[in-house]
Each structure stands twice: as C-alpha cells, then as structure tokens.
Structure 1
Amino acid sequence: MTVHSELRDPRQAKQPVSGALAGPYGHPFHPILVTVPIGAWVSSLVFDIASRIVDRPGFLAHGSAWLIAIGAIGALVAACVGFLDLFAIPTGTPAFRTALVHMALNLAVTAAYAAGFAWRQSDGYPEGQGVGAGQLALSAVALAALGLSGYLGGKLAYRYGVRVAEESVQAEGYRTGPA
C-alpha cells in the first residue's frame, strides 16, 4: 500500500497576503509585534513575584495589572497580523497545522491573561498585599504556554520558512567583493 503525498509550493507561504498590512516580502510585522505581549507578560510575572517579596507591594501589583493589559492589547494586534500570515500557508500541510496550534495556544494565553486581569480588577488592590497565589500561578502557567507557542512560531519561521525570504535572496548577504 502506497501513501500518496502531494507537495504544496512552499513559496506561497513566503509572500504576504498584503504587504501593507502584514509587512513586505522578507520583513513580516508579526515577529516584531509579538515582542510587546511577550515583554509585558514576562515583566508582569516578575512584578507578581516581587510583590510577594517586598514590604510595600501595592505599586508592583498595580504595575503588573497594567502590564497584563498592555500585553493583551499587543497580543490582539499581533494576532491580526499573524492571521494574515496564516492565510499564506497552504492548507493541509504540516506548516498549516503547526500554525493552527500556534494560533490556538496564543488565543488561549490571551484569554487566560484577560481572565487574570478581570480577576485582579474584581479583587481590587488591598493596601499592603501582593498579588494572590492563584493569580501568580495563572500568570506562570499562561507564560509557560506562551513559551510553547513561541517554540511553534520559531518552527514556522526557521524550519518551514513561513514569511522568510527565499535562499537565493538570503545568499545576497553572503557575497564577497563589490556588490
């Protein structure tokens, strides 16, 4: 019994659906935009941990909530651009399936942080108290899931070459002598 496997043209995933919205060829916007939620959410976890250590943790608890909100807004912007990149990947391929898992994880992480933000708002910020253990745990689990999703995003770019320039274009950077 032979299994027939169709090879889809990988060059399709290198071109943007819309260069104006998703970034021009070889310069996708999605990897740039994801630095905002990643940085905000990592920093929020640092603030959460610090709020349980210092004597007057109120400013850290407030700062962490702001960082979570900034991260959620940044994640929504990055998701819109990432969704455009998803449209460029041929369906039925390992790259497309990886992209769907990457997207689902990111949406779950964003939902978890949004829920964590709402939880913090409903609790208020009692003076002299750090972030609750449950809130800290939620942030830590969400950040771990974000790490897994980032691994999949790296796989999309570095293994499958999604939105990465063709090797012939990349070779221009390795020529010696006059251009």
Structure 2
Amino acid sequence: MSQNTPHARAKHPRTALAGPYGHPFHPILVTIPIGAWIASLVFDIIGLVSNDPEPYVRGAWVLIVIGLVGAVLAAVWGFIDYAQLGRSTAARRTATIHLTLNLGVVVLFVVDLLVRLSADDQDEVSIVGFVLSIVGLAVLGVSGWLGGKLAYRYGVRVADERTQMEGFR
C-alpha cells in the first residue's frame, strides 16, 4: 500500500506524540473522561438514594473535573490523528462530526459542573446537573460509536491488513 494514499496516511502517525504505528494514544486517553463521567453519574444515583448524599455529591463534581481534564488530553491526541485524514473523505467527515459532538459534550459537562458548584444546597444532588450528565453521556455514546467507525470500519490509525495477518499465522 502506497504511503501517499489518504488511507495509508490515516494509519501512520505524523508525529511520535500520536503513538507508534498500530498503537495510537487517543483511544486509551478517551477512557479517562468516559470512565470519570460514568462514575459521576453513578455517584449521583447513589447520592439520590442515600441518607447522606454529601460525599457522593462532592465525588460527582470531582469526577466531572477529572473527566474534563481527560477530555482535553484526549482531544489533543485526537486532533493529531484528525490532521492525518485526507480532506473530502468519508473518514474526515465522520471525524469532524465525532470532534464536534465531543466538543459539545465538553461544553455540557462544563455547564453541568458550573450548575453543581453554583447550587444553593451543595449537600444534595443537583437534578439539573444529573440531567445534563445523562444528556452528555448519551451524546458521548453517539460520538463513541463514530469513533469506533473510524477505527474499525475505516481503519484510522489501525495497522494495515498485512501487519494484522501476523496474528493469524
């Protein structure tokens, strides 16, 4: 496969910062915000049914902050991979939607955090924050599906088929 085709370029990092060939850093970094934000929702649910919700309320907003930091890191590495995609390709269009949805999710969680921190009662689960988390995670699920499409259907940053065959010999 020629290195000059958009498909071949999408498999190889432009810089070592993106992760070595066949081992991109972006997919592992996305586990930080996904895990933190799911855990924050779990803390909200526990806080809603708990007799003492205060530790879960605080834990939820700390997890949202961790998710936001992780999202910024994942975005930096995701953009490095995005820059490799050929313009006017289906992969680039999919990645643009993926990127846009993720930026929207970050905005939702920033608003979610601000709602929680500005609440009059910091010892109770914020229902508005809870709903924002659910919406944010739903959008994140759609974006994650598109990220999977980029990797598993279009092969972005995935080793080429000849390299993959090594595992089946």
TM-score bracket for this pair, using the shorter chain length? over 0.9
* Contact 2:57 2:122 (C-alpha < 8 Å) held by counterparts: no
Deviation per CA, 1:98-150: give whole Å up to 9, x if none: 000000000110111011111111115534x2x12211101000000000000
Alignment of 1:151-170 (within 5 A): 151-170=145-164
Alignment of 1:83-102 (within 5 A): 83-102=79-98
In 1, Cα distance between equivalents of 2:64 and 2:120: 15
1:61 corresponding residue in structure 2: 57
1:13 corresponding residue in structure 2: 10
In 2, Cα distance between equivalents of 1:62 and 1:29: 30
- Name the aligned partner's letter for residue 164 of structure 2: Q
| 4+ long deviations beyond 4 Å | none
Alignment of 1:73-92 (within 5 A): 73-92=69-88
Is 2:104 the counterpart of 1:105?
no
* TM-score, normalization by structure 2: 0.95
Say which of 106, 110, 114 aligns to 2:110. 114
Say which of 49, 52, 66 aligns to 1:70. 66
In 1, Cα distance between equivalents of 2:158 and 2:14: 14
2:165 corresponding residue in structure 1: 171
Tell me the SS of whatever aligns to 1:24.
coil
1:25 corresponding residue in structure 2: 21
Structural RMSD (CA): 1.0
Alignment of 1:39-50 (within 5 A): 39-50=35-46
* Contact 2:13 2:19 (C-alpha < 8 Å) held by counterparts: yes
* TM-score, normalization by structure 1: 0.89
- Structure 2: 5+ residue stretches without partners: none
- Structure 1: 5+ residue stretches without partners: 1-7
- Evaluate the alpha carbon distance shift between residue 59 and residue 124 of structure 1 in structure 2; reply closer, same or farther with a 3 A threshold: farther
* Contact 1:58 1:125 (C-alpha < 8 Å) held by counterparts: no
Larger Rg: 1
* Contact 1:22 1:84 (C-alpha < 8 Å) held by counterparts: yes
